[in-house]
A and B are shown apart, each in its own frame.
Chain A
Amino acid sequence: MKNIINIQAIYVLWLREMKRYLRAKSRIVGSLGMPFFFLLFLGTGFKNFRPGTVPPDVDYLNFVAPGILAIVLQMGSMMTGIAILWDRQFGFLKEIMVAPVSRISIVLGRTAGGMTTALFQGFLFIGVAFFVGLRIESITGVIVALCFMVLIACSFVNLGLAISSLMRDMQGFSLVMNFIMVPIFLLSGALFPVEQFPVWVRVLSYIDPLFYGVDGLRYGLIGVSKFPLWLDFSMLLLFCAFMVGLGAYLFSKVDVD
């Protein structure tokens, strides 16, 4: 067991991710730009917009903020995939792979690193949103939201890991970002309630795992959700478990060169 779960290796992989992240100040600021403008323009531009089932006392900014938070987490987590491709391109992946460390420990270290940075970005965003006008309902709600944040981050870090294990370079990865990540985010109901969609699109939304993430975050942050909390939670947990399995499996098969 000690050989399979190598705490020191997991720790140092995490530590490296932290150092790299904190040294890339422009990345931190840059990653907040897009969500901040989304929030500002959508939240203030559509201030009096009350789409579908949104209760009248929730303004659009409060409706959309949990959705954008989900996107921040999704995109932030996918950076892990990009980090692995960078490591491959710069040869550092070989340094990691030739060490006497099990692939599982490497996956755990990377997951821990990717989740930490994604969650950090999520918190930064909540801070900004709070400043712009997000109301937070209750402490228990915040704890619920935190659980969903962790699950979203964990799922998408592992999705990034899985995809980057199959890819050789950045070009392929940006294809994935555009053709998988963007639909996932648009279908998740992050920007408007899915009742607005025609039925066939709504069906797609219900199989979009991020839908349950967004719904759960909404429950936690603004106290409103479409589905009961247990359903959102179970669906996301299921997806997360599946992604962890897939990410670990594909990464363990990765060829170094």
Chain B
Amino acid sequence: MHAIETRGLTKKFDALTAVKQVDLQVAQGEIFGLLGPNGAGKTTFIKMLSTLSEPTEGDARVWGHDIRREKDAVRHDIGMVFQDPAVDDRLTGRENLDFHARMYGMKKTDRISRIGEVLDLVGLTDKAGELLRNYSGGMKRRLEIARGLMHFPRVLFLDEPTLGLDPQTRYHIWEYIKGLNAQEQVTIVLTTHYMEEADELCSRIGIIDYGSILVIDTPEALKNTLGNDLLTVKAADLDALQQAFGNESWVLEVNRFDSSLVLSVQQGEEKVPLAVNTAQKHGVTLTSVSVRKPTLDDVFLHYTGKSIREEDVSEKDQIRGRMRMHGSGRR
């Protein structure tokens, strides 16, 4: 049995198709990542799997339960960490966990020992008695992850678990996620638009854009499919340079960015002199040349035709992130 299995899963909002014919299988114990830009349909996809939103078409099973007909069974087997904060900040950390445990029908002795365990797992034991309104953004997030694990779910959904958190907190949360996947053998499905996050955590990645999954594979395989090295060149006159490289047979692909061109080539190191020569021939002076292996960023660019580097995080997200940091939700 797969942890998750979808067939033709589709969600339409009036004219907009937010999720389009998704066929996906996630194995037990996997950390599966959905990588996609804003509005790609990640949250909508997760909402359908967690029974909060009815699919327009298609079917899905979560831990063997049909998401349309066996909602309660699905709900029992999943843990959920929503994209936006979903805690009661007038309750303490322990009270939030206790609320959750009782909603999931846990017995008193189980509740108490499990609360201790999950608090320990996310390093919040000391803060358990504090009201959530006094937590930092990162602490709230960790508590939400702990809460998602309370009732021993089979599958844990993490919708943008580190959105808007500072790099250090993000790094810690990665450690927690890896730890709980190993210790609790819980299958994890996460969404993100941070490349390093997907690269660092996921056993497999699906790239999603405009509601469709474009490709699914391991991070390594994805990077290898590009197969080439990447040459980043900078110069004052990029227009002329772009044209010049476009006509060279050793250049497989040219991508234009604000202040640089990225060329797909084979045996990158040997192409550095060629690049310099080409530029000179066209009367352009290069200011810098560098060679690197493809990253997920490049893979993403290859499949979607656009880049989602961190600088490109939309304004909406930055505001959302900032609010989380200040622990004020959407006040």
A157 to chain B, nearest CB (A): 20
- A12–B73 Cα distance when bound, in Å, is 21
Using an 8 Å CB-CB cutoff, how does the interface string of B282-319 with A read, 1 for contact, 0 for none? 00000000000000000000000000000000000000
On chain B, the residues within 8 Å of A24 by CB distance are 90
Chain A residues near B90: list those with CB within 8 A: 19-20, 23-24
| A95→B87 contact, CB < 8 A | yes
Q: Say yes or no: B95 contacts A98, CB within 8 Å.
A: no
Interface of B is mostly: loop
Restricting to B82-128, which residues have a CB under 8 Å from any CB of A? Answer: 82, 84-91, 95, 98-100, 102-105
- List, in ascending order, chain A residues with CB within 8 A of B73's CB: 100
Interface pair A256/B84, CB less than 8 Å apart: no
A95: B residues at CB distance < 8 A: 80, 82, 86-88, 100, 147
Chain B residues with Cβ under 8 A from A94's Cβ?
Answer: 52, 80, 82, 86
CA distance A254 to B44 in the complex (A): 17
- What is the total number of residues of chain B having a CB less than 8 Å from a CB of chain A? 33
Q: Which residue of A lies closest to B103 (CB)?
A: A99
Q: How does the 8 Å CB contact mask read for A52-74 relative to B, with 1 for contact and 0 for none?
A: 00000000000000000000000
Is there a chain B Cβ closer than 8 Å to A144's Cβ? Answer: no
Q: Interface stretch among A1-9, A135-143, A218-226?
A: A1-9
Chain A residues in 8 Å Cβ range of B91 = 16, 19-20
A256 to chain B, nearest CB (A): 5
- Contacting residue for B72 out of A3, A19, A256, A257, CB 8 A: A3
B50 at the interface (CB under 8 A from A): yes
Interface string of A91-112 (1 = CB under 8 A from B): 1101111111100000000000
For chain A, the bracket of interface size reads 20 to 34
Residue of A nearest to B95 (CB): A19
Q: Is B76 an interface residue (CB 8 A)?
A: yes
- Bound-state Cα–Cα, A8 to B108, Å: 11
A127 to B57, CA, bound (A): 59
**Contact partner, A257, options B52, B88, B103, Cβ 8 Å:** B52
Asked if B75 is at the interface (CB within 8 A of a chain A CB), the reply is yes
A-B contact pairs, 11 of them (CB 8 A): A8-B103, A11-B102, A23-B90, A89-B330, A91-B82, A91-B330, A94-B80, A95-B80, A95-B82, A99-B75, A100-B104
List 7 extra interface pairs beyond A19-B90, A256-B47, CB under 8 A: A9-B105, A89-B330, A91-B84, A91-B85, A95-B87, A99-B104, A257-B53
